[in-house]
Amino acid sequence: MIVVKVGGSTGIDYDALCEDVAALWREGQRLVLVHGGSAETNRVAEALGHPPKFVTSPSGYTSRFTDRETLEIFEMVYCGKQNKGLVERLQRLGVNAVGLSGLDGRLFEGKHKDKVRSVEGGKVKVLRGDHTGTVERVNTGLLTLLLESGYLPVLTPPGVSFEGVAINVDGDRAAAAVAVALQAEALLLLSNVPGLLRDFPDEASLIPEIPAGEVESYLGFARDRMKKKVLGAAEAVQGGVKRVVFGDARVRQPVRAALSGRGTVVR
Amino acid sequence: MLQTIDTPYGTVEADPDTLELGEILVSDDGTELEVVSLDPLRLEPAPEEDEDWGE
Q: Are A257 and A249 in contact (CB under 8 A)?
A: no
Q: Is A198 annotated as a binding residue?
A: no
Contact list in B for residue A157 (CB cut-off 8 A) is: 54-55
Contact list in B for residue A37 (CB cut-off 8 A) is: none
A124 and B23 in contact by Cβ < 8 A?
A: yes
Percentage of chain A exceeding pLDDT 90: 91
A169 and B24 in contact by Cβ < 8 A?
A: no
A115 and B47 in contact by Cβ < 8 A?
A: yes
B47 and A38 in contact by Cβ < 8 A?
A: no
Measure the CA–CA gap between A50 and A43, rounded to whole angstroms.
Answer: 10
Phi, psi of B11 (to 5 degrees): -105, 155
Domain ranges of chain B: 3-45
pLDDT tens, A183-240? 999 999 999 999 999 999 999 999 999 999 999 899 999 987 888 899 999 999 999 9
DSSP 8-state assignment for residue A46: H
Assess whether pLDDT exceeds 80 at residue B50.
no
Please give, rounded to a whole number of angstroms, the shortest distance from the CA of A160 to a CA of chain B: 12
Q: Which CATH class is domain B3-45?
A: mainly beta
Q: Using pLDDT thresholds of 50, 70 and 90, give the confidence band for residue A71.
A: very high
Residues in chain A, overall count: 267
Q: Domains plus CATH for chain A?
A: 2-266 (3.40.1160.10)
Question: A186-191 and A243-248 as β-strands: parallel, antiparallel, unpaired?
Answer: parallel
pTM here is: 0.93
> Which chain A residue's Cα is nearest to B46?
A126
Structure ipTM: 0.91
Measure the CA–CA gap between A104 and A262, rounded to whole angstroms.
Answer: 34
Q: Is A168 annotated as a binding residue?
A: yes
DSSP 8-state assignment for residue B48: P
Contact list in B for residue A123 (CB cut-off 8 A) is: 20, 23-24
Cis, peptide link before residue B47, omega less than 30° from 0: no
Q: Tell me, yes or no, if B54 comes closer than 8 A to chain A by beta carbon.
A: yes
Question: A97: left (phi > 0), else alpha (psi -120 to 50), else beta?
Answer: beta
pLDDT tens, A100-137? 999 999 999 999 999 999 999 899 999 999 999 999 99
> Which chain A residue's Cα is nearest to B44?
A126
Question: A186-191 and A152-156 as β-strands: parallel, antiparallel, unpaired?
Answer: unpaired
